[in-house]
């Protein structure tokens, strides 16, 4: 594995993440999508996509779901991206409580 870094265009990376989520969950058959989501909900990080670079090694991306803050239908879903080791990245979907973003009137 090469330890050289590559620069990623954040907008292009988010487009690729969105596209892969659509393929894996929204465009997949109901059975495949349910199984995929069930594994995510069980806390597994699943192989999700590969980022290729002609000059360097590929980056493997997993998808994980953090639903510890899930409170029902009123949630904010955010995407976090972390890289702990060279060549491996995790895309983490996290539910946040929208109340933490509200402004309280005095």
CA distance 94 to 13: 17
- Mean pLDDT, range 4-33, rounded to an integer: 88
The SS3 of residue 44 is: coil
What average pLDDT does this structure show over 11-15?
A: 91
Say yes or no to pLDDT of 35 above 60: yes
Burial class (CB in 10 A: 0-12, 13-18, 19+), 63: buried
| Separation between Cα atoms, residue 56 and residue 52, nearest integer Å | 8
What CA–CA distance (Å, rounded) separates 9 from 28?
27
pTM of the model: 0.80
Q: Give the tens place of pLDDT for each residue, 43-64.
A: 999 999 998 877 767 889 999 9
Backbone angles phi, psi at 11, to 5 degrees: -65, -45
Show me where the domains of the chain are located: 10-101
State residue 41 phi and psi, 5-degree precision.
-65, -25
């Amino acid at each position: 594995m090469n330890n050289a870094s590559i620069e990623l265009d954040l907008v292009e990376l988010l487009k690729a993440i969105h596209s892969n989520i659509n393929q894996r969950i929204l465009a997949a058959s109901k059975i495949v999508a349910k199984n995929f989501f069930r594994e995510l909900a069980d806390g597994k990080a699943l192989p999700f996509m590969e980022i290729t670079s002609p000059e360097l090694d590929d980056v493997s991306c997993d998808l994980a779901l953090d639903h510890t803050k899930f409170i029902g239908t009123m949630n904010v879903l955010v995407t976090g991206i972390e890289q702990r080791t060279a060549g491996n990245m995790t895309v983490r979907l996290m539910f946040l409580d929208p109340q933490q973003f509200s402004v309280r009137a005095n």
